Structure 1
Amino acid sequence: MKASMDDLYLFILTVRHGGISAAAQAHGLQRSKVSRRLQELEKALGCQLLIRTTRQIEMTEHGRLLYQHINQPLSDVNQAISLLKNQQQSLQGVLRIAVPAAFIASALFSELLDDYARQFPDINLEIFHRHQSVDLKRENIDLQLLPDVLDIINEDYVQQVFLPSKKGLLCSPGYLKSHDKPQCLNDLFAHSILTSHNDPSLLPEGLNIRLMSEDLGLINHMAQSGHGIALLPMTLVQQQIKQGELIHLLPDIYQSEISMTLIYSSRQFLPQKTRTMINLLRDKFLNHH
């Protein structure tokens, strides 16, 4: 679909007047028509240009890029249109991902980034530590991964729950030298517990919570250092268990699961670089239950 010059003009008016209603009123146009034509322009370009709120509009990164060129000669306008389309379809540029710090430290995530970097050498990666939901559009982040128990800041964002993983109780061999090994859940009351802010409801009430943190990497470290029994996703500790740094406690008694939510702003305007990462995430983590 080809971008219409009339729609580009309506985009200019909307930005200059600070909103669709103001632009429509100033030029004697119907608000619904302006809104519809802007949607057609975004569809033609294959990317979102404006963030619409009840009172105002904001330009996305693509919107700012287009507006920078829009008042230039017609050749520059056409060049900007081609640039936006190429950005959406090409496997180059920057892919920005927000993930919890503990997930970044996992071997699985390192393998994922390694595979992606090898397959797509022209795409640069920016990884951000985020423990809570972020506004992807305003922070210009392509993807976010969060535990599924957390609320998403924008319910319009696409949310895909995947990577189901069992959670286990773990401690170091050194911890068991000075503490009795628990044989049932009630035995946990005699121990110090290390857990995340999202997990207390998964454990019996009244336990001695010695450490509570959003950083699973910190909890993992404290468990390996012998400070207590930790509740952690099994996908993050497989290597430590194999190396004998952590011991899985009550594997036949305690069962709990956690999943990750993959979040991105829109299915309609999904760049190819983002789509390839989503596909790689699915392929890699669906085999790690």
Structure 2
Amino acid sequence: MDRIDAMRAFVAVVNEGSFSKAAGSLGLSPQLVSKYVSKLEEKLGTRLLQRTTRQVSVTEAGSRYFIHAQQILLSIDEMAAQLNGLQQSPKGVLRISAPVSFALKHMVTLTRDFQKRYPAVTIDLQLNDRKVDIIEEGFDVALRIGELKSSSLIAKQIAPVRVVLCAAPEYLREYGTPTTLAELDDHRYLHYSYMNMEAKGVIYEYLKARYFKQSSTFYSNNGDVLVESAGAGAGFVLQPTFIASDALGTGKLVTILPQYEPEPIHLYAVYAHKKLLPHKVRCFIDFISDYYGAPPYWDRAVPLGEDIRE
């Protein structure tokens, strides 16, 4: 008796609720499925199923065996899929959801390079700053930034995301450079509409306490617009370095109050838990995991502030 075949027969009977349905799902005869289960019980020395003319029920031993058998079969199938994937190129449509600013700045070359390696994959990249329901909306992968709440989704950490407070040198010459948080009260704040209310850090707490009670000078739901406005001298802005790094590297913007830079948040690739992850998704997750570097390339020209976080 092949132990794996017998194990598959038993798991199928439990999942389907009958020998005939299990036989249909496995492409076997009900008699052969019954023989497999009987031989398995004989080998284990215990009854796994209670059989009557009308129904099949699982014994206590069968319930315990079912849990472990299912895990073993899942591992075997996943390994087989991975080994098979090594011999085959991924193909099909890969649907990705990503934040607008991040995708515009850092996913053009990524998707180009990914498709050079895997030309049989068609990419459907949709940009949206809201958190899409990847299952309901049919996405294979979603890129998300921030601290994720617990869910049934699997999240792979891709890169740290620094967030800095910055302003144009011209603006600071005209209005002065703040050296304390309280001095920000005398300055114009360019506010990101989607700022995470649960974000932690001294600078976040200060801005939430002040600017959610009073009117900000300027609101926008797009970080690129805010960084461009800050570069034009409109005020100061709190934005991730993956958006502001070019302006910071050229001196169009400079960091202010670097001692209050919050702990980095993270970029994640999020996908649904599946028994067998499609090969195209696995290849994309592996590809993006190493693509941006450590630290990510957009941070290499951005100076670190003195660390006196409270």
Conserved 8 A contact 2:141-2:281: yes
Aligned residue for 1:135, secondary structure, equals: coil
Aligned residue for 1:209, secondary structure, equals: coil
Find out whether 1:274 has 2:281 as its counterpart: yes
Distance in 2, Cα, partners of 1:226 & 1:128: 32
Change (3 A) 1:222 1:43: same
Find out whether 1:116 has 2:114 as its counterpart: yes
Letter in 1 for 2:190: L
Find out whether 1:180 has 2:176 as its counterpart: yes
Distance in 2, Cα, partners of 1:7 & 1:215: 53
Distance in 2, Cα, partners of 1:150 & 1:195: 22
Conserved 8 A contact 1:144-1:264: yes
Aligned residue for 1:206, secondary structure, equals: helix
Distance in 2, Cα, partners of 1:139 & 1:282: 24
TM-score, normalised on structure 2? 0.60
How far the C-alpha of 1:283 sits from its partner, in A, is: 0.5
Find out whether 1:198 has 2:195 as its counterpart: yes
TM-score, normalised on structure 1? 0.64
How far the C-alpha of 1:146 sits from its partner, in A, is: 1.2
Distance in 1, Cα, partners of 2:232 & 2:276: 46
Letter in 2 for 1:187: E
Aligned residue for 1:285, secondary structure, equals: coil
Conserved 8 A contact 1:101-1:217: no
Distance in 2, Cα, partners of 1:262 & 1:7: 36
Runs of at least 5 residues in structure 2 that lack an aligned partner in the other structure = 10-19, 27-53, 59-65, 79-83, 297-310
Distance in 2, Cα, partners of 1:109 & 1:122: 19
Letter in 2 for 1:134: V
The worse-fitting range, judged by mean Cα deviation, of 197-206 and 110-119 is 197-206
How far the C-alpha of 1:246 sits from its partner, in A, is: 1.9
- Give a deviation string over 1:11-40, Cα, whole Å, max 9, x none: 9xxxxxxxxxxxxxxxx76699xxx9xx99
Letter in 2 for 1:98: S
Conserved 8 A contact 1:165-1:235: yes
* Cα-Cα RMSD: 3.8
User: Aligned residue pairs: how many?
Assistant: 228
The worse-fitting range, judged by mean Cα deviation, of 267-276 and 143-152 is 143-152
Conserved 8 A contact 1:105-1:217: no
Residue 167 of structure 1 corresponds to 163
> Which consecutive segments of 4 or more residues in structure 1 shift more than 6 A?
1-5, 28-32
Distance in 1, Cα, partners of 2:102 & 2:245: 13
How far the C-alpha of 1:228 sits from its partner, in A, is: 1.6
Letter in 2 for 1:132: R
Aligned residue for 1:226, secondary structure, equals: coil
Letter in 1 for 2:273: S
How far the C-alpha of 1:116 sits from its partner, in A, is: 1.0
% identity of equivalent residues: 21
User: Larger radius of gyration, structure 1 or 2?
Assistant: 2
Distance in 2, Cα, partners of 1:223 & 1:29: 71
Find out whether 1:209 has 2:216 as its counterpart: yes
Distance in 2, Cα, partners of 1:120 & 1:190: 53
Change (3 A) 1:282 1:251: same
